[in-house]
Structure 1
Amino acid sequence: MSFVILGHCCKDGSCLQVCPQNCIHPAPGEPEFELVEHLYIDPAACIDCSACVDACPAQAIKPDTALTETEQTYAEQSGVYFDLLATSRSPRITTPAIPTALGSGPIRVAIVGAGSAAMYTVRELLQRSSSVQITVFEQSSHFGGLLRTAVSPDQQGIRQMARLFDVPFADPRVETRFDTRVGVEVTMQSLLKRYDAVVLAHGATRPREIAAAATTDVHQAIDVLVAAYAAQTDGTGPVGLLAGPTAVIVGGGNVALDIATTIAKRRIITRAGAPISRVVIVARSSASQPSFTFSALHELSQLDVDISVDTGGTRIGVDSKDPLARLLSAFAREGSAPTRSARLSVELIFGQEVTALTTAEGRIRLDTDKVAAGGRVRLKTAAGNVVTADSVIMASGFTCEPLPGVALRSDGAVDNHHGRVVSPVSGEPIEGLYVVGWAKRGGRGGVGENRRCAAQTVDMIVADNG
């Protein structure tokens, strides 16, 4: 028996640190680490010790004998990954670098936000100093951020990562001030005066703006998901939210597929109580580099849905080594017109960027820029149909909430250099001000990515306060 890592792996790397066989790859520092969706366990080297199971914060590791039929694909992927690895190169054994400690003197750190990025930052600071004093400012009444409010109840492994907050936030060196907004109840200037370091960990939760007609039938993805998940948790039944049977989702990331999955499970219906019968997902990205993961599309494909893919002319091969490319190729080969044998048809359209929404004959009509051609066109399917919809759900990404004196980049993240926030005027680092998480990287990367992100930012704090 060996163990298998499933698609909701957070890539936090805790499993690598406890594996006695060094059989989990790729590790941070190996070339494939940034490219893979999840880590892999070598079935030939695994000795069934289960240390990785206990260490995994997302509960994403199972014995191969306990896999469901749907999960078998991850065991197959592990075998393929290590077969390819054996023919290309030997796995590199990486030795984790020993983190540099903070100075021996007391240091006071303020952290803005109490989501997963803040949690990893608190852990990193506590591990590097016995005299650090940390104050966390959180605008809501609880910690956890999107991990608490926007993760589907279906993803229990990810949701239970909230338990990682228990130990660091209970440490006597940490104080948490809930219901406190930086810029309102407390100013950024006062924080910079009172603390040796201020770390912005407030995330990127403001939806990207797209010009749209003022209408109640344009919804933000985060609002839709929160409403659907709250209803499921409360047991109140489906959310009657959308105007009619056709919905367009603008954006092609995991959030877009999560909404489609939620609709397929009949957790979102029309205001009249009828099911949604057609979902069109409009992705700006190319079919050769989709913004969603294999596991997100695989989960959707296991439901009662007909999936079709319009690649926008981009060729994707079934013989690709990438499991996501192979899955997309299978749907594209079946033709872009949905067969409509299932209760719900889901159409994935790549290479289209929505720039405006207008109403037409009582329905929503999308104006777009065709990325490949560079010219403005009406959004059309491969069959030549103009896409109209009863409702539109915006899932085109997030930007940071602006803070006084803090510059944002074009991708909506805080302008920074390796975690040091830079001045919007001089471009030089602002003394004592740092950033971590989505606020640092832009709205991308999973929960586990915050661990390495926090370590880099704390490295900057150590260097500046040595």
Structure 2
Amino acid sequence: MRNMKMHFAAIQRCLLVQQCMGTSSVNVFTSVRKLASATSTCLKVCIVGAGPAGFYTAQHLLKSRTDVQVDLYERLPVPFGLVRFGVAPDHPEVKNVINTFTQTAQHDRCSFYGNVNVGKDVSVQELQQAYHAVVLSYGAEGNRKMGVTGEDLAGVYSAKDFVGWYNGLPCNKQLQPDLSCETVVILGQGNVALDVARVLLSPLDILKTDITQSALQALEASKVRRVLVVGRRGPLQVACTIKFLREMLNLPDTRTEMLASDFEGISDTLKDLPRPRKRLTELMLKAVKEAKEETDARKRWGFRFLRSPVEVLAGPDGARAAAIRLAVNKLEGSGDAARAVTTGQVEDVECGMIISSIGYKSLPIDSSVPFDLKRAILPNNLGRVQDTSGLYCSGWVKRGPTGVIATTMNDSFDTARTLLQDMESGVLDLSVSKAGSGAISALLGSRGVRVVSFPEWEKINTEEVRRGEVNGKPREKLLDVKEMLSVAWS
């Protein structure tokens, strides 16, 4: 009898909240079903950020116990974070993980609340009052600056913004990069840098997946024929993986442009290298050797090692980048611990575009949450945010913007295990009843914030697939948040 009353009360709360927020009757019954399943005594967890870290954390929690209810809050109306907005368009297989995330979002004990800006629409403290545990998994949306004169000139972009432009991130839709130059310099030698280089040089038929139509048209008119990928250290410290390097070396109609002098003595070190580093280095050495035999390709790319940016040089108009001045470095130490030290020499490289791929950084979300400004992460111990109770973190905001999706998966599983340990040990007090999404939805409704549910996201998804078919693509992403909301709530 008591459970029936609880279910009835849940239904009443759901109907009231949905009525206030104008959600369709279909979503009312979806929410009723999920609320009813959550009325028994359970751990109520809120996850902030519906990217890979958030979904993997939710997945592990839901699979580990049947008495956990998870709510995912996302700033945008659409889920999946960097899987949607960060993975290169010619890597569609990587995005298959969205199928797993969709299964998680449709789980009876999981709900998605899009269009909610935590820190603005609702505070972290308010979430803590409504949930037994809050997991911050909101990623790294900030750019690391080069810190050199001229980096604000036209023609200088962050890799984050450039990737966001061709992947349809709403805040980057107006970027309109000028691709009328022949040479592009990319600063940084990680996988993101190679993603950008590959997109700039790839044949369009390779890219015609979910890349935005505006980006596809800009790349079709592009005059870029040469890309230099610059790093401050040497070949033995290059940060990309062998898969990404091999893709660059196999690009059609593109030859490598390496400096043989950068590889002097490198062959002698191979026997002492760990296997992954050895294979990567052998592939670069092979590319240097074969580069001499390639003559017919129209496009070129190559690494430039032991170089650091000193200044972006303007053209005659004083407003647009025309070259970059690089300091010539030498290495002190060896291996991953080797440090780049300037020699006092500089060289200028003419280029019409410079893309900085030196890293993302997380930003503070709420004044009540501790934040390490120097490391740009949440200070934590195994995912427990420092000096707080019931507050956790996973993904890039926990460890910094490193690794691939599998790295994020393992990291998020670790955070979920930490949270479950605290549940089992009594650190999280489950004897205290928490209102969960019922309280937060009512709060958001009173503030005029209308959420996007997962079924409403699926309406956006359907519309994007329909538009993609018109252009012969699997998807054409909506680029405007207002348009997303209009489709979701239609």
Matched letter for residue 286 of structure 2 = A
Between 215-224 and 115-124, the greater mean CA deviation after superposition? 215-224
Q: 2:433: which partner in 1?
A: none
Q: 2:325: which partner in 1?
A: 366
How far apart are the structure 1 equivalents of 2:104 and 2:412?
14
Q: 2:200: which partner in 1?
A: 263
Higher-Rg structure is 2
How far apart are the structure 1 equivalents of 2:384 and 2:58?
17
**1:133–1:270 distance in 2 versus 1, CA, 3 Å:** closer
How far apart are the structure 1 equivalents of 2:323 and 2:396?
31
How far apart are the structure 1 equivalents of 2:330 and 2:378?
27
Q: Deviations over 1:318-374 (max 9, x none)?
A: 865532111111233467x99764211212012333354342545132344736362
Matched letter for residue 156 of structure 1 = P
- Relative to its length, the structure with more strand (as a share) is 1
Q: Deviations over 1:285-324 (max 9, x none)?
A: 4311321011111111112222133474674328655321
How far apart are the structure 1 equivalents of 2:281 and 2:106?
44
Among residues 146, 168, 183, which one is paired with 1:246 in the alignment? Answer: 183
How far apart are the structure 2 equivalents of 1:313 and 1:326?
11
- Aligned-residue offset at 1:229: 4.5
**1:223–1:275 distance in 2 versus 1, CA, 3 Å:** same
2:230·2:305 contact (CA, 8 Å) conserved in 1? yes
The SS at the match of 1:347 is: strand
2:180·2:224 contact (CA, 8 Å) conserved in 1? no
How far apart are the structure 1 equivalents of 2:63 and 2:79?
20
Between 247-256 and 185-194, the greater mean CA deviation after superposition? 185-194
- Relative to its length, the structure with more helix (as a share) is 2
Structure 1 vs Structure 2: percent identity of aligned residues?
26
Q: Is 1:228 matched up with 2:172? A: no
**1:142–1:179 distance in 2 versus 1, CA, 3 Å:** same
Q: 2:258: which partner in 1?
A: 309
2:200·2:219 contact (CA, 8 Å) conserved in 1? no
- Aligned-residue offset at 1:439: 1.4
Q: 2:33: which partner in 1?
A: none
1:249·1:394 contact (CA, 8 Å) conserved in 2? yes
Tell me the TM-score normalised to structure 1 length.
0.67
How far apart are the structure 2 equivalents of 1:111 and 1:355?
41
**1:124–1:270 distance in 2 versus 1, CA, 3 Å:** closer
- Aligned-residue offset at 1:270: 7.6
Structure scoring higher RCO (CA < 8 A, sep ≥ 6) equals 2
Q: 1:387: which partner in 2?
A: 349
**1:413–1:106 distance in 2 versus 1, CA, 3 Å:** same
How far apart are the structure 1 equivalents of 2:310 and 2:192?
19
- Aligned-residue offset at 1:392: 0.5
Q: Deviations over 1:107-143 (max 9, x none)?
A: 1111110011111101111112212122211001111
Please report the RMSD computed on the Cα atoms of aligned residues, expressed in angstroms. Answer: 2.9
**1:356–1:182 distance in 2 versus 1, CA, 3 Å:** farther
Q: Which runs of 5+ in 2 are unaligned?
A: 1-39, 170-175, 205-214, 332-339, 425-490
**1:370–1:416 distance in 2 versus 1, CA, 3 Å:** farther
Matched letter for residue 193 of structure 1 = Q
1:138·1:179 contact (CA, 8 Å) conserved in 2? yes
Q: Is 1:219 matched up with 2:146? A: no
**1:124–1:352 distance in 2 versus 1, CA, 3 Å:** same
2:180·2:222 contact (CA, 8 Å) conserved in 1? no
Q: 1:95: which partner in 2?
A: none
1:139·1:181 contact (CA, 8 Å) conserved in 2? yes
- Aligned-residue offset at 1:377: 4.6
Matched letter for residue 304 of structure 2 = I
Q: 1:149: which partner in 2?
A: 85
Q: Deviations over 1:75-114 (max 9, x none)?
A: xxxxxxxxxxxxxxxxxxxxxxxxxxxxx95211111100
How far apart are the structure 1 equivalents of 2:265 and 2:80?
41
Aligned residues between the structures = 344
**1:314–1:170 distance in 2 versus 1, CA, 3 Å:** farther
Q: 1:343: which partner in 2?
A: 298
- Aligned-residue offset at 1:406: 2.8
- Aligned-residue offset at 1:162: 0.7
1:357·1:366 contact (CA, 8 Å) conserved in 2? yes
- Aligned-residue offset at 1:375: 2.6
How far apart are the structure 1 equivalents of 2:219 and 2:358?
24
1:286·1:314 contact (CA, 8 Å) conserved in 2? no
Q: Which runs of 5+ in 1 are unaligned?
A: 1-103, 232-238, 381-385, 423-428
Matched letter for residue 449 of structure 1 = T
**1:262–1:123 distance in 2 versus 1, CA, 3 Å:** same
Q: 2:358: which partner in 1?
A: 396
